Amino acid sequence: MPSFPSYRPRRLRRTEALRSLIKETSIEPGHLIAPLFVTHEEGRHPVASMPGVSRLSVEAVVEEASSLHALGVGAVLLFGIPQQKDRRGQGAYASDGIVQQAVRAIKENKPQLVVITDVCLCEYTDHGHCGILTDAGEVDNDATLELLAQTAISQGEAGADIVAPSDMMDGRVAAVREALDAADLSGVAIMSHAAKYASAFYGPFRDAAGSAPEAGDRLGYQMDPANSDEAIREVWLDVEEGADILLVKPALPYLDIIYRVKLETGYPVAAYHVSGEYSMLRAAGERGWLDEEKALLEAAHSIRRAGADLIITYYAGQLARLLGG
C-alpha cells in the first residue's frame, strides 16, 4: 500500500463525476421489494406509527402495485389482515383468503410483476403467535408446519411467484418445499426468513397487522440479537431444506449477519429494512432532525455494501423515485 504523499485518496473525490466513476455499490429499483398490507376494508387506512404506509383494500393494492411496477420496483411482498382471527389462523390458508385474492387481482392486472407472499400465522391467529398453540400455551412446531405448508400451496395456486416463510418454525422450509412440489407447484420459489431476530424494530408492523402476541413474546422461535454463529446454522438449514433466497431481518442492526450470510453461502440474500427502521427515519425526517432522503440513501447503500442483493423496504417506491432522478 503506497503512502502519502504519493497516494492521495482525495484526488478521486474532487468532483461529482470522479466520485461517481469509482462508486462501488449501486441500488437498482429492480432489486427493491415493497411490503404491502392487504385488508378486507374498503380504501386506504393509514398506519399511525408508519406515516406514508396504509392498509389497502384489494382494489387499492392493485393500484399501488401497478404504480410501484411503473417505478421499476422489482416485487411486492404481501401481508394479509383477515376479517376474522381464530386459534388456528384459518385466514392464512383459505383459498379465498385476503392475500390469495390480492395475488389473483395483481397477477390479472400486472402479470410481469413478481409477487411474493408472507407465509406465517401471526396475522391470522387470535393469540398473535406465529404458530398454533398447545394446551399448555406453547407454540407447537410440528403441528404448525402442516398449516404453513397449506398456506404456501394456497398462495402458489393463487399465482404467487415466491413464498416467504417468516414464522421461524424448525423444518418449515422443507415442509413448504415438499408441499409445493407435491401440489405441482415446483416452480414457486422460497425466500426464507433464514435469520430472523426477535426484534423490537417490528413494533410498528404489529400495529399495522394487529399481530402483537396477546401473551408472551417471540423469543421461543425468533433469534437472540446477541447471536451470530447461530444465524449461520439457521441459514445452512434453510439452504439444505430448499430455500432459493435467504433473508436477514432486520437490516441495519444486522449488517454483519448480511455480510456473513452472503460470504458463506453465495446465495441471493435479501435484507428486510423493517417497520421500526422505516419509522425511525420518518419520524426524525418529519421533525427536521435529519435529512430523510440522504439518510435513506445512506442506509440503502450500507445494506447493499454489506452484501444484500435485494432490499425489502417500505421506502421502495420513494427510493425508486429518487434513483430514477
- Catalytic machinery residues: 196, 249
Judged by CB under 6 A, which of 37, 93, 197, 205 binds ligand PBG? 205
Q: Which residues share a beta bridge with 119?
A: 165
Contacts of 295 (CB under 8 A, 6+ apart): 281, 284, 285
Q: Which phi and psi angles does 12 have, rounded to 5°?
A: -90, 10
CB-nearer residue toward ligand PBG: 55 or 218? 218
CB of 120 to ligand PBG, least distance (A): 3
CB-nearer residue toward ligand PBG: 206 or 321? 206
CB-nearer residue toward ligand PBG: 202 or 306? 202
Judged by CB under 6 A, which of 39, 49, 54, 166 binds ligand PBG? 166
Q: Using the rule CB under 6 A, give the single segment among 155-163, 182-190, 200-208, 224-232 that binds ligand PBG.
A: 200-208
CB-nearer residue toward ligand PBG: 36 or 113? 36
Q: Which phi and psi angles does 51 have, rounded to 5°?
A: -55, 130
The C-alpha cell that represents 11 in the structure block: 484526488
- Residue 5 is classified by DSSP as T
- If one asks whether residue 206 binds ligand PBG (CB under 6 A), the answer comes out as yes
- If one asks whether residue 275 binds ligand PBG (CB under 6 A), the answer comes out as yes
In the chain, alpha helices (H): 16-21, 58-70, 98-109, 141-158, 172-182, 203-209, 229-241, 255-265, 275-286, 292-306, 316-324
- Which stretches of the chain bind ligand PBG, using CB under 6 A? 118, 120, 122, 130, 166-167, 202, 205-206, 211, 218, 274-275
